Structure 1
């Protein structure tokens, strides 16, 4: 299949469908200019996709497949994704704004999700329960049916794969809605699935606006389970829909993640780790370390080293592989700048950055480090989703914990110290689904990921994610 055979369209029941919805114009974040468009999906297209998924699921093709063969199928999808990498990367860079290196990493991570869950596919099984003489009792792990998945724009392929792969490994059929701000690269997933021999209808792609295609998908009566990553506001709507239909939902709703830096921490290592934790992909990462809570004795030294690290990087288009790349849209850039300005007006100080740069087209925001931030400031409470780091001081560990846990979010957190006893003491008290110790973004596809509090519930990644995509049936037999 040539690259030209991967069109920008919906993929329903094994066929590319233009759709009857409003087409989506795609902008390049590095220039701010439109460069392509993709077909949109209407409510009827969503219905067709759900029906295709239902038909596929009802064939029991994946469920009845020998687990070893299902494993090999997911491995083939991974291989096809890697073969498409040279085509995917430039599309992902242009539509998403990320660097070439980050785009390559995302494609590789996408393939690895299919390998990881392929490796689990032949190890999912029930158990026998002894009930005494005359009885046989056993459990089965049964797929839910049609899994509806709403994918965010920041890591569209990677976040899609972490839900699609375990869903298929358990035998479900999937309908995915691509993000309207970054929808093009998602089409390559359909190509990979087709080339790998996934039965038609088990993977369906809807390309449309959230208010049309997204709402129609999560509210469709034929959907058996929902997976969503995005804002708290949209997550609430999806959960209300799921509650109304009484179906399970997995939601990851963002964060305001904090790293605690104790007095004995290696300040050079902290500076590098914290900078990558907030400035990678322009801060557009759900688990970004947007707050750094530093012991007062080393506060100035840490800030100085972060600023030095920032000045050692370059800003520009992702095609040129700069570290500081644009935000996804003008609205996102304006939001980040507005939060920084409000913080400065409230008494914070910009150690570096604070506003958009001069002389660059596109949606850029200078990497910003704010000092003098207090727990009461808006910048400490709300998710910016941009390259803005808030630095706060503390004098004792109880104060540090109070600041770190003092928001409605609980997605990720961090601890920097050479004292492992103190690290474990702190990790045990942080209200977050993930705790990084001495390296932000430590971990991998193998570890569970999800939030406490309003950062959502349910776990993606790792073996734990498999529980989202199958339900337990007990079979009790009187012999």
Structure 2
């Protein structure tokens, strides 16, 4: 990645290749940023602790660049272990001695709803910040912002779902359960959906009475910091939300092992999730992990092929293919295979890839140089393994991290491009003859995050959905999320769920009370 840490004992300038890396002993806590669409705003650069933006203890900073131009946007302060300690102490104090966890849940809901309204007021600016920082098309970014706002509002209205039950144990005792918050929750979010993942983590933790220390991805910290400008105005007290920007090996490691952190929520790669799981075990933290995927997208011959192609495009190219639930393995019934491939290739080649601020752009930049290089390396692997490159597979232009939508055909199930998560706009297409065969092919993976089914035969769709090892199954749609519908995976795709009542349960623990009656 191009975000690099620099020691800030004094002001310094360094060069790595063509990139200028600056370090400031007194970096301002906000800097002016002018966006490509002409909007201007003040970008917070500090850590957010106790409702204040503050410099890191060591005054270290790291560079944030635009994936579409490869130019520096700004520097932000880099948190380290001592900053995590300060943030956790603030969160712990707010939980133990503050009133956030003890007030009427309706008051927490009101504050969360107010936060959503403040974000709604700046929705276009938030979308523009996402596009600048992440490289995604502005239309995608607007969708992310609306989903984030909707989820905050939905969670704010879910306070009546945080309840227990009365248990009939006879007339000698009164027995009941109640759900209580856990305490300080450490949260680590990825770079593909910075603001949306912020909302998916913050909302259920806050509405259930917990406090939070969150680490945004080092490649995309800007929107997570910006929305913290609204926290106090929304009525959320100091210490409830804390943001520590920095690197996973330092901030993420510290959060996952910290004795005062009672829960870790992580979204990212399976390998990192396993590492965090092991760290969390040392202090028996509650944990939720939303990890990788290699999701099958299944098309039957009786499907509306135009609709299936549109859903396949949304399933693999949306957000530049940087979606854990991407439908990256397409299985088409043999009699419809040739027609589907022709339609998908034609549609893929018409997609506009480029300037993410252009309203007509469908696919923006990959978020980092590392990710672009990884995707291109998988294109080489596919060719070496004998797959047929139907279209794409090339970097677009010499500036910015752009790649053409890519389709591989003539693949076998043992190929790496079929087995391994690429996390980019690369899809493989295979044929199937029978329902049993496609079930076997679809389930031949360590992952189990999502799946798609396209057919006009509802009986087949339901039968197949029941047999797929996937946490989410979309029928005649894809990447179709709703705040009330839980999302999460089987197997190597993770533990626990985002959204829905299930997310609230992840942030509470059950207390049983049994009173003997006279």
2:13 matched residue in structure 1: none
Is 1:336–2:336 an aligned residue pair?
no
Please state whether the residue corresponding to 1:351 is helix, strand or coil: strand
Is 1:410–2:448 an aligned residue pair?
yes
1:221 matched residue in structure 2: 259
1:140-151 map, 5 Å: 140-151=178-189
Is 1:193–2:231 an aligned residue pair?
yes
2:9 matched residue in structure 1: none
2:204 matched residue in structure 1: 166
1:38-437 map, 5 Å: 38-321=76-359, 322-357=361-396, 359-437=397-475
1:16 matched residue in structure 2: 53
Runs (5+) with no aligned partner, structure 1: none
Please state whether the residue corresponding to 2:163 is helix, strand or coil: coil
Q: CA deviation at 1:5?
A: 6.1
Would you say the 8 A contact 2:130–2:195 is kept in 1? Answer: no
2:509 matched residue in structure 1: 471
Q: CA deviation at 1:444?
A: 1.2
Distance in 2, matches of 1:373 and 1:133, equals 66
Q: For structure 1, which segment, 62-71 or 329-338, has the greater mean C-alpha deviation from structure 2 after superposition?
A: 62-71
Distance in 2, matches of 1:214 and 1:68, equals 32
Q: CA deviation at 1:193?
A: 1.6
Q: For structure 1, which segment, 298-307 or 78-87, has the greater mean C-alpha deviation from structure 2 after superposition?
A: 78-87
TM-score, normalization by structure 2: 0.90
Distance in 2, matches of 1:335 and 1:349, equals 19
Would you say the 8 A contact 2:257–2:282 is kept in 1? Answer: no
Is 1:32–2:70 an aligned residue pair?
yes
Q: For structure 1, which segment, 364-373 or 316-325, has the greater mean C-alpha deviation from structure 2 after superposition?
A: 316-325
Would you say the 8 A contact 2:137–2:357 is kept in 1? Answer: yes
User: After TM superposition, where is structure 1 displaced by more than 3 Å over at least 4 residues in a row?
Assistant: 1-6
Please state whether the residue corresponding to 1:338 is helix, strand or coil: helix
Would you say the 8 A contact 1:110–1:158 is kept in 2? Answer: yes
Q: CA deviation at 1:397?
A: 1.6
Would you say the 8 A contact 2:105–2:208 is kept in 1? Answer: no
Per-residue CA deviations over 1:197-254 (Å, capped at 9, x if unaligned) read: 1011000001011111111111111100010001111101110011121111000111
Runs (5+) with no aligned partner, structure 2: 1-29, 33-39
Would you say the 8 A contact 1:176–1:204 is kept in 2? Answer: yes
Per-residue CA deviations over 1:68-101 (Å, capped at 9, x if unaligned) read: 2222111101101112223322221111001111
Distance in 1, matches of 2:109 and 2:431, equals 50
Q: CA deviation at 1:34?
A: 2.0
Distance in 2, matches of 1:199 and 1:430, equals 44
Q: CA deviation at 1:122?
A: 3.2
Distance in 1, matches of 2:136 and 2:394, equals 20
Number of equivalent positions? 478
Distance in 1, matches of 2:146 and 2:275, equals 33
Would you say the 8 A contact 2:130–2:194 is kept in 1? Answer: no
RMSD over aligned Cα atoms: 1.6
Q: CA deviation at 1:33?
A: 2.2
Would you say the 8 A contact 1:70–1:122 is kept in 2? Answer: no
Would you say the 8 A contact 1:20–1:40 is kept in 2? Answer: no
Distance in 1, matches of 2:255 and 2:161, equals 31
Q: 1:57 to 1:269 in 2, by over 3 A?
A: same
Would you say the 8 A contact 1:84–1:188 is kept in 2? Answer: no
Q: CA deviation at 1:360?
A: 4.3
Distance in 2, matches of 1:142 and 1:37, equals 39
Q: CA deviation at 1:459?
A: 1.1
2:19 matched residue in structure 1: none
Would you say the 8 A contact 2:51–2:231 is kept in 1? Answer: no
Distance in 2, matches of 1:211 and 1:317, equals 32
Q: CA deviation at 1:442?
A: 2.5
Distance in 1, matches of 2:398 and 2:355, equals 10
Q: CA deviation at 1:6?
A: 5.2
Q: For structure 1, which segment, 335-344 or 125-134, has the greater mean C-alpha deviation from structure 2 after superposition?
A: 125-134
